[in-house]
C-alpha cells in the first residue's frame, strides 16, 4: 500500500495502544499455549442479563416501528424512564431537554469533547483513569491535563490545584480503576470550582449502583449548582448486566446535553429502539437483581481481599465497583508483574495502563465465581 494511504493521522499517531485490546491479545496467546486462564482483567460482568429484560427485547424486536432509523436523542419513553429512575434519587429532570439516550456510556464520554473543546484547550483528566477520557480529548485536538489520584488523598483529585483555564473536567465516582468513592462534600468542591472558572463537568457514574456495606453513592447532580455546570453519564451495562447491549444515558444541564446531541445527530443514528424498550424494562421493572448483584460482588470481594491479605498483600476492601486496586507486592513495575501473573494463568490489569499514577498497582475484576477466585489466590501465592 502507498505510504500516503497507510500513514495514520497525527491524532492516531499520538494515541497510546488501547490497553484492553493488548490484554486480549496476550490472553489469547497464553490460551493458545495451553495455559488455563483465570480472567480478572477487563471489567465485563459474567452474569447474564435478567430474563425479563431479554424477553422485553424479543417482543420489541418484532415491532415493525422499531425496524426503522431511531432518533439520535432516543425514544421519549426511554428518556422518561431515565427521569423516573433519577426521581427515585430525588433529582428532577426534564426528559425532553435534560436526558439523552446513549449507545453505551463510552460513546457519550468520547463524543463530549467534540461538542465543546477547541484545538489546544485544556481538559482535566484524572490519572489513573478509564483511558477514554484522555483518548477522547486527543481526538478532539484538546490538551489533556493530568489530575493525579493518589492514595494519600483517597484517590480524589486536588481540585484546588486544578488549572483555572480548563474547558472540561472529567470525574468518575465510584472510581475505575481504584474503586474509590466520593461524598457530596467533594462534589461541592467540584461545583464551586466549575462555577468560579466556567468549566464543564462530566461525571462518569457507570458504577453508581454497585455499592456495598451500607454505602450509597451520591449522584453528582444531587449537589446544588451541579445542574448549572455539568452532566452525569451513566449506563445500564453494570447495574443490569447489559454490557453488550450498548445502552446508556446522559443527564444534566440542558445546554451541555444539546451540544452532545448535536454531535450525535451528525455521527450516529441512535440506539436500536428495541434495545431502548428493553432498557425501559430494566429501569422500571423489579430492582431486586441489583441487590443480588451487590451481594454477589461482596462475596467475591471478600474472597479476593481476604485471600490476598492471607498471603501477605496489603489491600483495602472497596465500598463500590467490582474492582480491587492492589499495590504490587514485590515493588516491580506493574506490567512486569502482570506478565508474571499471566504466565501463571491469571489475567490482571497493570496499573500503568490507566496512567502514570497507576504505576505500582494491579487491578483485579470480580467477574469470576468465588471458587475460581480461590484458585487464583493459590496461584498468586506461588507466583509471589
Query: How confident is residue 26, by pLDDT bands cut at 50, 70 and 90?
Result: confident
- CA–CA separation, 43 and 41 (whole Å): 6
Last residue of a domain, one of 284, 304, 336: 284
Q: Does residue 147 sit in the same domain as residue 227?
A: yes
In angstroms, rounded to a whole number, what is the distance separating the alpha carbons of residues 57 and 104?
Answer: 16
Whether the predicted pLDDT of 13 surpasses 90: no
Domain count across the chain: 2
- Residue 337's domain is classified under what CATH number? 3.90.1150.10
Please report, for the domain that includes residue 215, its CATH number: 3.40.640.10
Instruction: Say yes or no: 131 and 13 in one domain.
Output: no
Report whether pLDDT(36) > 90.
Answer: no
Q: Are residues 248 and 171 part of one domain?
A: yes
Torsion of Cα atoms, 192 then 194 then 196 then 197, to 10°: 160
Average pLDDT over residues 5-31: 76
Co-location of 113 and 257 in the same domain: yes
Looking at the fold, whether 96 and 142 belong to one and the same domain comes out as yes
Query: Does residue 24 carry a pLDDT above 90?
Result: no
Whole-number Å distance between alpha carbons of 41 and 25: 12
Please report the pLDDT score of residue 33 as a whole number: 82
Residues facing 146 on adjacent strands: 125
Question: Which among 239, 258, 284 is the end of a domain?
Answer: 284
Identify the pLDDT of residue 1: 44
What 3-state class would DSSP assign to 255?
A: helix
* Edge-to-edge strand ranges of the sheet holding 248-252: 99-102, 248-252, 230-235, 200-204, 166-172, 122-127, 143-148
The CA radius of gyration of the chain, in Å to the nearest whole number, is 21
102 and 175 part of one domain: yes
Confidence category of residue 323, pLDDT binned at 50, 70, 90 = very high
Are residues 319 and 276 both part of a single domain?
Answer: no
Band (151; pLDDT cuts 50, 70, 90): very high
Q: Is there a single domain that holds both residue 170 and residue 294? A: no
9-18, 106-115, 172-181: the lowest-pLDDT one: 9-18
pLDDT band at 31 (very low <50, low <70, confident <90, very high): confident
The answer on 343 and 249 residing in a single domain is no
> In the chain, what percentage of residues exceed pLDDT 70?
98
Q: In the prediction, which pLDDT does 5 show?
A: 59
3-class DSSP assignment, residue 154: coil
Please report the pLDDT score of residue 23 as a whole number. Answer: 73
* Residue 80 structural domain: 51-284
Q: Is the pLDDT of residue 2 over 60?
A: no
Q: Within this chain, do residues 25 and 136 fall inside the same structural domain, yes or no?
A: no
For 187-235, the pLDDT digits (tens) are 999 999 999 999 999 999 999 999 999 999 999 999 999 999 999 999 9
Residues ≥6 apart with Cβ < 8 Å to 40: 346, 347, 348, 364, 365, 366, 367, 368, 373, 376
In this prediction, residue 3 carries a pLDDT of 57
pLDDT band for 30, please (50, 70, 90 cuts): confident
pLDDT of 315 reads 96
Please, what is the average pLDDT of the chain?
94
Last residue in a domain, options 242, 262, 284: 284
Residues 277 and 313 both lie in one domain: no
Provide the pLDDT confidence category of residue 6 given band limits of 50, 70 and 90: low
Judge if 274 and 236 occupy the same domain.
Answer: yes
pLDDT at 119: 97
Amino acid at each position: 500500500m502507498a505510504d500516503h494511504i497507510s500513514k495514520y493521522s497525527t491524532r492516531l499517531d499520538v494515541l497510546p495502544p488501547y490497553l484492553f485490546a493488548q490484554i486480549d491479545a496476550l490472553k489469547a496467546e497464553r490460551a493458545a499455549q495451553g495455559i488455563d486462564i483465570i480472567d480478572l482483567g477487563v471489567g465485563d460482568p459474567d452474569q447474564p442479563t435478567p430474563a425479563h429484560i431479554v424477553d422485553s427485547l424479543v417482543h420489541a424486536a418484532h415491532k415493525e416501528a422499531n425496524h426503522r432509523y431511531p432518533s439520535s436523542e432516543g425514544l421519549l419513553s426511554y428518556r422518561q424512564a431515565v427521569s423516573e429512575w433519577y426521581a427515585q434519587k430525588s433529582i428532577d429532570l426534564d426528559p425532553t431537554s435534560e436526558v439523552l439516550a446513549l449507545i453505551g456510556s463510552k460513546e457519550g464520554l468520547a463524543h463530549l469533547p467534540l461538542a465543546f473543546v477547541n484545538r489546544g484547550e485544556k481538559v482535566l483528566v484524572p490519572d489513573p483513569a478509564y483511558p477514554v477520557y484522555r483518548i477522547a480529548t486527543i481526538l478532539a485536538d484538546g490538551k489533556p491535563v493530568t489530575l493525579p489520584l493518589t492514595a494519600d488523598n483517597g484517590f480524589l483529585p486536588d481540585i484546588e490545584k486544578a488549572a483555572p483555564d480548563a474547558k472540561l473536567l472529567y470525574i468518575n465516582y465510584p472510581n475505575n480503576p481504584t474503586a474509590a468513592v466520593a461524598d457530596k462534600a467533594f462534589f461541592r468542591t467540584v461545583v464551586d470550582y466549575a462555577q468560579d472558572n466556567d468549566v464543564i463537568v462530566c461525571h462518569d457514574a457507570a458504577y453508581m449502583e454497585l455499592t456495598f456495606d451500607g454505602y450509597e453513592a451520591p449522584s453528582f447532580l444531587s449537589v446544588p449548582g451541579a445542574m448549572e455546570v455539568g452532566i452525569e453519564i451513566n449506563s445500564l451495562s453494570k447495574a443490569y448486566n447489559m454490557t453488550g447491549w450498548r445502552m446508556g444515558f446522559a443527564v444534566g444541564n440542558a445546554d451541555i446535553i444539546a451540544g452532545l446531541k448535536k454531535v450525535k445527530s451528525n455521527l450516529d443514528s441512535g440506539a436500536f429502539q428495541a434495545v431502548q424498550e428493553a432498557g425501559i424494562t430494566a429501569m422500571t421493572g423489579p430492582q431486586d437483581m441489583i441487590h443480588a448483584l451487590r451481594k454477589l460482588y461482596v462475596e467475591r470481594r471478600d474472597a479476593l481481599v481476604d485471600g490476598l491479605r492471607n498471603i501477605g498483600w496489603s489491600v483495602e476492601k472497596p465500598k463500590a465497583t467490582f474492582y480491587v486496586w492492589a499495590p504490587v507486592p514485590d515493588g516491580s513495575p506493574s506490567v512486569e508483574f502482570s506478565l508474571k501473573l499471566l504466565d501463571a494463568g491469571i489475567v490482571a490489569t497493570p496499573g500503568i495502563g490507566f496512567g502514570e499514577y497507576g504505576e505500582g498497582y494491579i487491578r483485579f475484576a470480580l467477574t469470576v465465581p468465588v471458587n475460581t477466585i480461590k484458585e487464583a489466590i493459590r496461584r498468586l501465592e506461588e507466583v509471589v
